A = this chain, B = another copy of it.
Amino acid sequence: MTETAHRTQAQRREQTRTALLDATIGCLVDLGYARTTVQEICARAGVSKGAVQHHFTAKAELMAAAVEHLTTKLRLQLAASLGKLPSGGTGVAAAIDLLWTGYSGTLSTAVTELWVAARTDPELRAAIRPVDRALGRATLEHVTQVAGELPPERAEMLFWLTVNLTRGLALDAELGGDPKRRRQLLEEWKRIAVLLYQDATTAPA
Contact = CB atoms under 8 A, between A and B. Distances in A.
A184 interface: yes
Interface residues of A, number: 42
Contacts of A113: 116
B121 A32 contact: yes
Interface stretch (A17-25, A45-53, A84-92, A156-164): A156-164
A95 interface: no
A83 interface: no
Interface in A165-192: 165-169, 171-172, 174-176, 181, 184-185, 188-189, 192
B175 A119 contact: yes
A34 interface: yes
What number of copies of this chain does the assembly contain?
A: 2
Contacts of A194: none
Interface in A128-160: 128-129, 132, 157, 160
A117 B171 CA distance: 11
Contact of A171 (B125, B171, B196): B171
Contact of A166 (B120, B168, B185): B168
A71 interface: no
Closest 3 CB pairs of A and B: A164-B168, A167-B168, A32-B120
